Amino acid sequence: MTSLGWLVEPAAFPWVALVVGLCIGSFLNVLIHRLPKMMERSWRAECAELTGTPVAQQDPYNLFVPRSRCPSCGTLINALQNIPVLSYAALRGKCANCKAPISLKYPAVELLAGIGAAYSAYRFGPSLAALGSAVFIWFTIALAFIDQETGFLPDDLTLPLVWLGLLFNAAGSFTSLQDALIGAVAGYLFLWGVNGLFKLLRGIDGMGHGDFKLTAAVGAFLGWKVLPFVILLSSVLGIIFGGLQMLAARRGWDSRFRFHFGPYLAAAGIVALLWGAMIRVYFPALAFYL
C-alpha cells in the first residue's frame, strides 16, 4: 500500500469524501450565483450582435474572476472567511466587515454536497460508482438551486450530466450502457411528449425544456427502468409543495421559496440512486417502478 493508500480505506474513505464534498460545495455556491449571470451576459451580447447594437466593454466575469465579495459592502472575502461551513459558523452568519447577514443557503449547499459525497463513499465504497454518485449529486444540487432561483436548468450543466451518465455506465457503474442509452432517450421523450400534449390542450408550455434534459440525465445514470419511479416521486413532491405554495399565496404568506420541477426531479433522482435497492426490499409494492 502506498503512503496515500489510507485515503481509500473503508473507514477513512467517507471522511475524505466529506472534506472533498464540502470544498466542492463551496465551488457550487459560486456556480449557482454566477452561472445565471454569465448566461444573461451571453444572451445580451447575442441580442446586441443580432440587432447590430454596440456592446459596451465589460470587466471579465466568470467562475473564477472577479474574487468573491460581500454583496452588501463589497469587501473581499479572504481564504479564512471561505472555509466551508466552519467560516459561516465562526462568523455567526454575518459579514466580518459590515455584519450583514449571510444567506443560510451557502452552508446548506456545502453540507448537502459534503454529506452527499460522504454517503456515496459509504454506499458504494472506493469505486467508480462512488465518484459517479457524488458527481450526480453535485450537479443536481447546483441545478436544483439555480432552477429554484431563476427558473432555468442550464444546458451547461444538464447536457454534460447526460454524457457523464453514459460514460460512467460504459463501465457498468449503475446499469448497463444499453439501459443508460435507452434511459437518456426515454427520459427526454417522455416529458417532451407530456409537454406537447399539454401545449396542444392549453396552448402554452407546461414545463421548460431543461426538465426534459435533466430527466434524460437521470435516465443516463440510472437506466430506463428507474424513470417511472423518478417521475412518480417528483410528481408527488410537486403536488405537495405546489399545494403549500398555493396555500401560502392565498393567505398572503411569504412565498419567495418557489420550487420549479427541477428540484423535484433532482431529489427523486438522488433517492433512486442511493436508496433504490432498499426501496425494492422494504416497499415491494414499488418494485414495479424500480
Residue 163, CA distances (Å) to 128, 139, 220, 225, 262 in order: 15, 13, 8, 19, 19
Per-residue pLDDT tens digits of the chain, which is 290 residues long:
444 455 567 778 999 999 999 999 999 999 999 999 999 888 888 887 788 787 777 778 888 888 888 888 888 888 888 899 999 999 888 988 888 898 999 999 999 999 999 999 999 999 999 999 999 999 999 999 999 899 899 999 999 999 999 999 999 999 999 999 999 999 999 989 888 887 888 877 777 789 999 999 999 999 999 999 999 999 998 888 877 777 776 766 555 556 588 999 999 999 999 998 777 666 665 555 55
- Is-contact 68 185, C-beta < 8 A? no
Question: Rounded to an integer, what distance in angstroms lies between the CA atom of residue 182 and that of residue 191?
Answer: 14
Residue position matching grid coordinates 453514459: 166
- Is-contact 218 185, C-beta < 8 A? no
- Domain ranges in the chain are 1-126, 153-290
8-state DSSP, 96? T
* Size of the chain in residues: 290
What is the predicted pLDDT for the residue at 59?
79
What is the predicted pLDDT for the residue at 2?
47
pTM of the entire predicted model: 0.90
Residue 209, CA distances (Å) to 118, 137, 206, 212 in order: 32, 21, 10, 5
What is the predicted pLDDT for the residue at 4?
47
Instruction: Kindly write down the DSSP assignment for every residue of 150-180, as one continuous string.
Output: HS---HHHHHHHHHHHHHHHHTTSSS-HHHH
